[in-house]
Amino acid sequence: MFTGLVQATGRIGRAASGVVLRWQAATVAWGPAALQLGDSVSVDGVCLTVAALLADGGGFRADVSEETLARTSLAAKADRGGWVNLEPALRLSDRFGGHLVSGHVDGIGLVRAVERQRASWRLELAWREADYGRYICEKASVAVDGISLTVAGCGADGSRFWLAVIPHTWAVTTLCRLQPGDAVNLEADLLAKYTERLLASGLRQRLPGAEPPLEQFSEPPLGQPSESPLTANWLHSQGYS
pLDDT tens track for 139-177: 999 999 999 999 999 999 999 999 999 999 999 999 999
51 by DSSP, 3-state: which? strand
Nearest in space to 185 (alpha carbons), one of 44, 67, 16: 44
> What distance in Å separates the CA atoms of residue 105 and residue 218, rounded to the nearest whole number?
46
The model's pLDDT over 18-66, given as tens digits with 9 standing for 90+, comes to 899 988 765 555 555 578 899 999 999 999 999 999 888 888 999 999 8
- 125 near 110, Cβ under 8 Å? yes
Return the beta strands (E) in 78-178 as ranges: 83-88, 107-116, 121-127, 141-144, 147-154, 160-165
- 126 near 106, Cβ under 8 Å? no
- Least confidently predicted of 29-43, 105-119, 122-136: 29-43
Domain residues of the chain, as ranges? 8-88, 107-196
Confirm whether 8-88 and 107-196 share one CATH topology.
Answer: yes
Q: What is the pLDDT of residue 108?
A: 96
> What distance in Å separates the CA atoms of residue 140 and residue 97, rounded to the nearest whole number?
15
pTM of the model: 0.79
Per the prediction, the chain carries an average pLDDT of 85
Nearest in space to 142 (alpha carbons), one of 183, 81, 193: 193
Q: What is the pLDDT of residue 217?
A: 46
Which one has a higher pLDDT value, 216 or 50? 50
- Least confidently predicted of 97-101, 114-118, 228-232: 228-232
Q: What is the pLDDT of residue 17?
A: 78
Can you name the CATH fold of 107-196?
Elongation Factor Tu (Ef-tu); domain 3 (2.40.30)
Q: Output the CA torsion 23→27→32→34 (10° steps).
A: -140
Q: What is the pLDDT of residue 220?
A: 55
Number of Cβ within a 10 Å radius of residue 127: 23
Which one has a higher pLDDT value, 93 or 207? 93
CATH class of 8-88: mainly beta
Q: Could you give the percent of the chain with pLDDT greater than 90?
A: 56
